[in-house]
Amino acid sequence: MGENKISEYGKDFTEEEFLVRVQICTSEYREKLHETLEVQCEEGFLAEGGGWKKEVAPGETWSIRFADYQELEKRYGTKEEAFQIRITPLNNGKIRLANVERGSGDSVYEGSFFLEGRETGMLLVNVLPLESYLGSVVASEMPSSYPMEAQKAQAVCARTYALNFMKNREKQETAADLDDSVSFQVYNNYQETERSRRAVEETAGKVMDLEEVWYYSTSCGTSKEDLSKEEAFQSFLLEEPEQEEYDSPWLRWETEIPADQVLTQVNRKYGSVWDKLLDVRVEERSVQGQIQKLYLKGDAGELLVEGEYAVREVLGGDALSVTLSDGSRSDTMELLPSAFFYLEPAPDAESTEIRTLKIHGGGYGHGLGMSQCGAAQMAEEGADYQEILEFYYGEGGKVHEMENGFGTTD
């Protein structure tokens, strides 16, 4: 392979280093480690580690349990380094993980894999060219129906995001650069589509100079006003919103939750022993209106919840019922859609105890970086992907091209 210097990232990369290492979680991303794996390949594949080798015929299933791995490790491993089983498809075939379920049904992967043991299971890592990885990230993170320029903006975001982890590989304590779940960016929940592939190809090698790249589903709209004050934010949210989010019903939403649900979350998360909820109020908002700090008072103490995710979680619970702006309902959420909301506590008629909380909100996601629905709206109105990125990321959103050879599979 040739060598390409990518000085913008503070170190030199070779083409080999453009192979991204993605940890694959179990079905529905429930666990990071696997107890059992069932591996197939229509072209057949080779599994090997140490002095052990096994060739699996085309279409056959090879099943390996954690206990099997441990036996192989005892026999073929060394004390000097972790015992690793490499899984390599023959004839450039694709590996299928028969017992790993994803949104598209089939769990089919390009590239190769390796297995390493941990205390409670097997770590599974997919190794493949970065550009191949991006195709199914774009398909998994953004609906394929969105305009192409929005898809291309998503591809640049995803490439920059992944490369930031790859360039810090030596600092990572794990064998992977990132995993395939929402803990990083979702990979292969849906297979690459023609549109996602095109978005990646038409932005090949293009990145932003950002150390952190954030994106999310839907904003609650934009305002030139300072929304950090409660009155200003409530007035903004009560206004008829301009359609800036590609007709997303998450532009506005509301829900009502019983105080008992809040008490359950507080007691579970913070080790409190509250029987009554006496006060809930917003303590601090960002300039954009996102809640940063939430104050709660119970019969046994006070609590200041900090951070948008923690706020959404403490007011969440099991199977929240949220009504969207189009009248539809979502009944499976475990945390509030966003931290862009205001509260209407309903106290008991005969006491100061709060019985229910009505919540009026807007947007879906953490609210940082690029709104994917907003990007789609901008693309629909004629913006290209570079204009979209600069709108959301400012100077950091300026796109530049890496040197020839980036992401090639030759």
Q: Please provide the DSSP assignment of 297-338 as one string.
A: EETTEEEEEESHHHHHHHT--SSEEEEETTS-EEEEESS-S-
**Cα Rg of the chain, angstroms:** 24
**Would 366 be classed as within a structural domain?**
no
**Would 222 be classed as within a structural domain?**
no
Among 14-28, 74-88, 268-282, 377-391, name the one with the lowest average pLDDT.
14-28
Residue 379, both tokens: 């693309």
**Would 236 be classed as within a structural domain?**
yes
Identity of the residue numbered 100: V
Q: Quick check: 85 pLDDT over 90? A: yes
Residues 180 and 303 in one domain: no
Per-residue confidence (pLDDT) for residue 17, from 0 to 100: 63
324 contact partners, CB below 8 Å, separation of at least 6 = 249, 250, 252, 253, 330
Range of the domain at 240: 230-361
**Would 70 be classed as within a structural domain?**
yes
Q: Quick check: 1 pLDDT over 70? A: no
Residues 143 and 253 in one domain: no
What would the pLDDT profile of 286-335 be if each residue is shown by its tens digit?
999 999 999 999 999 999 999 999 999 999 988 799 999 999 999 988 89
Residues 337 and 196 in one domain: no
Residues 64 and 178 in one domain: yes
Q: Quick check: 408 pLDDT over 60? A: no
**Would 394 be classed as within a structural domain?**
yes
User: Domain count of the chain?
Assistant: 2
Residues 242 and 333 in one domain: yes
CA distance 360 to 281: 14
Residues 397 and 352 in one domain: no
Residues 201 and 304 in one domain: no
Residue 295, both tokens: 């104050």
**Would 7 be classed as within a structural domain?**
yes
Residues 251 and 209 in one domain: no
CA distance 86 to 99: 19
**Would 78 be classed as within a structural domain?**
yes
Residues 243 and 387 in one domain: no
**Would 86 be classed as within a structural domain?**
yes
Residues 382 and 274 in one domain: no
What would the pLDDT profile of 142-196 be if each residue is shown by its tens digit?
999 999 999 999 999 999 999 999 988 777 677 899 999 999 999 999 999 999 9
Query: Does 115 or 332 have the greater pLDDT score?
Result: 115
The model scores a pTM over 0.85: yes
Residues 175 and 243 in one domain: no
Residues 187 and 293 in one domain: no
